[in-house]
């Protein structure tokens, strides 16, 4: 009997469902449905709004994280490309200088040792006003004191003043202790000795007043004495200092190189 009773009650659910559907279609349940909708609508609206707000905040936060991640990635890429570009430019400049060095050496058939400039006035003791650079070649490479050093254009920038096994110091032409036997390419090919002047220019002293010199005259090494070849350009005359009541005159010579651009130099071996 109990089983029969349970079975009978089970059949009531489909009947009740069909009856509710029927009453809905004939509008009998309309007032009750309207009341239910009016009651539930605020809650549904609140839940929908809350869900939309949460979803919007989540999407916005996700987008911000994506933007920050992309921005960080772009910054890293920009930094990497900047480094590569800088390295490429340095290599390009070095290649240009190397080609110029090789062209100069090939045209003049000099024996030579190519060297990298590794510091300025850092390894060796210096005095105020002395300008020096240090190169990465030394006695083990056939370098000795007194040899001339040129840049990629063949302009003499100085000479070896000290040599060690794998390092050498080059005193620049603007160094007051760096002297060269020189010739001015004027009509009389005036000869004299050049020396650095305050680390800025080069000066040639004790030139007879009778010598005619012009601004812009080129000054070259004379090749007299030492191990410096003849004809290497030292610079151009930038100022002539003469006084009518003096026996001698002197000239200032503007060097044709910039110490800050010296990266690769060549030691000339006679």
Alpha helices in the chain (DSSP H): 2-10, 12-25, 30-108
pLDDT of 39 higher than 90: no
48 in the same domain as 73: yes
Give pTM, 2 decimals: 0.63
Give whole-number Cα distances, 236 to 139, 156, 202, in Å: 32, 12, 9
Encode pLDDT of 211-268 as tens digits. 999 999 999 999 887 789 888 999 999 999 987 788 899 999 999 998 888 998 999 9
85 in the same domain as 50: yes
- Residue 229's domain is classified under what CATH number? 2.40.10.350
- Residue 16, CB-side half-sphere exposure with 13 Å CA sphere: 5
Structural domain boundaries, residue 100:
1-109
pLDDT at 15: 61
Rounded mean pLDDT, 81-101: 62
**Domain limit, last residue, from 92, 109, 126:** 109
**Average pLDDT over the chain, rounded to whole?**
77
Rounded mean pLDDT, 32-47: 59
91 in the same domain as 12: yes
89 in the same domain as 161: no
Rounded mean pLDDT, 159-163: 95
pLDDT at 4: 45
Encode pLDDT of 166-185 as tens digits. 999 999 999 988 999 999 99
128 in the same domain as 100: no
116 in the same domain as 103: no
**DSSP notation for 141-188:** GT--TTBEEE-TTS-EEEEEEEE-SS-EEEEETTSTT-EEEEEE-STT
Confidence of residue 50 (pLDDT cuts 50, 70, 90): low
């Amino acid at each position: 009997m109990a089983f029969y009773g349970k079975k009978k009650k089970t059949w009531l659910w489909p009947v009740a469902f069909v009856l509710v559907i029927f009453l809905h279609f004939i509008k009998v349940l309309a007032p009750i449905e309207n009341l239910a909708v009016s009651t539930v609508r605020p809650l549904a609206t609140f839940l929908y709004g809350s869900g939309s707000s949460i979803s919007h905040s989540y999407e916005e936060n996700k987008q911000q994280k994506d933007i920050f991640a992309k921005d960080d990635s772009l910054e890293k890429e920009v930094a990497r490309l900047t480094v590569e570009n800088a390295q490429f430019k340095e290599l390009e400049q070095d290649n240009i200088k190397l080609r110029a060095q090789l062209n100069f050496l090939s045209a003049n058939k000099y024996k030579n040792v190519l060297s990298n400039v590794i510091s300025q006035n850092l390894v060796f003791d210096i005095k105020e006003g002395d300008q020096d650079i240090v190169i990465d070649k030394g006695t083990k490479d056939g370098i000795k004191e007194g040899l001339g050093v040129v840049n990629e254009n063949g302009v003499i920038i100085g000479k070896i003043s000290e040599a060690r096994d794998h390092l050498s110091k080059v005193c620049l032409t603007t160094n007051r202790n760096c002297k060269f036997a020189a010739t001015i390419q004027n009509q009389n090919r005036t000869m004299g000795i050049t020396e650095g002047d305050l680390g800025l220019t080069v000066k040639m002293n004790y030139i007879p007043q009778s010598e005619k010199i012009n601004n812009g005259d080129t000054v070259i090494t004379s090749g007299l004495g030492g191990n410096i070849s003849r004809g290497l350009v030292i610079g151009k005359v930038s100022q002539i200092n003469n006084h009518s009541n003096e026996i001698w005159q002197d000239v200032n010579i503007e060097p044709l190189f910039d110490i800050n651009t010296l990266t690769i130099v060549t030691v000339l071996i006679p």
